[in-house]
Structures are given as structure tokens and as C-alpha cells.
Amino acid sequence: MMNLDALMTVLSDMEKVAKALDVEPFSIYFMGGSACILGRYHDRATRDFDFVDLSYPASFGKVLRYLSDFDMLEYESTILPPSYQSRAVKLEQFSYLKLYVLAKEDIIVSKIIRMETKDLEDMDVLIGCSDKALILEIIEEVLLREDLYPSKKQAFLKNLPVFREMYHV
């Protein structure tokens, strides 16, 4: 399990490798537990990095592999609105790679699809310092997505009433 210091060390090493191998700078949008930790939204530990697949070319693999355990999630299978990048927070410690964590509200909405214990723990922490009106906007944006896999949309719709009741959104 990795805490903030361990995650930051991995990212720092990854950035050094990207520079050393002369891999062009690229963006990564972290989500899930790693984003909660990197964004200092929550202080729990995590086993892996979750991030959105931006259709990275194969040449970026030699840099991404330094993340060790990671889940690169294709956009069509994620519960994210098209506008997620506009709210993402840049990790200013990194100057070569463009590393971002999703906004708290985007993380909350992305977790509605599963709502497992660790997701609920993250949501419990994040909801108190989040903009509920923005969460509603994000939910509506997700529901309008035509590129979202039908099975993912169905799972999201199934859990949405429970989320709304639990968090009064």
C-alpha cells in the first residue's frame, strides 16, 4: 500500500525517466483512490494508480510502466463527463509531465458506479467539502453521454438513487 510520499516518489521517478528517455511530455488524469491521495483530499493508502486512457501511443509505455500497478481506464468505460479536464487540478510539483487529479466532484460521481466500501469511505470524506450543485451538473452530463458503454450506464443508473438518498444530492 502506498501513501502520499510513496505515490509522489513514483511519479517523480517516472518524470525523470521520461526526461532521460526524451519522451515527449504528456498528460495524465488520475482518478480513484490515487487521485484522492495525490490531491490531498483523503489520507488513506492505495495499491495502484487509476487514470484515464488518453489513447497514449506505445512509446509512452516505457514511462507509464514506472507506475508499476496501474489501471488505465478507457474513457468509454468511465463515469466521467466530457468536461472533467477543465476542473482537474494540476500537480505543480511536476514540470515536465502534465499530471492532474480529478476534481473532488468528478471523483465522487465516478465512484457511483461501484459504491463498494472503499468508494463509500472516499465519498464520505469528499462530499462534505464538495459542491453539490456541481455534482448534479456532472451527473446530468454523464447521463447525456452517448459514447458510454451501455453496461456502465446501466450500473450507474442502478446506483444513482441510492447515492442521491445517502448524500442528499
pLDDT digits (tens, 9 = 90+) for 94-141: 999 999 999 999 999 999 999 999 899 999 999 999 999 999 999 999
Domains belonging to the chain, first-starting first, are 4-167 (3.30.460)
Decide: 97 and 14 in contact? Cβ < 8 Å. Answer: yes
What is the percentage of the chain residues whose pLDDT exceeds 70? Answer: 100
| 155 Cβ neighbours under 8 A, 6+ residues apart | 113, 114
Residues 6+ apart with CB under 8 A from 23: 17, 59, 60, 62, 63
How confident is the model at residue 16, as a pLDDT? 97
In the chain, where do the E strands start and end?
27-31, 49-53, 70-74, 89-90, 98-101
pLDDT value at position 97? 98
The pTM score is 0.95
Q: Which of 129, 130, 138, 128 is nearest to 160 (CA)?
A: 138
Residue 68's pLDDT is: 83
Strand partners, 27: 98
Strands 89-90 and 27-31: unpaired
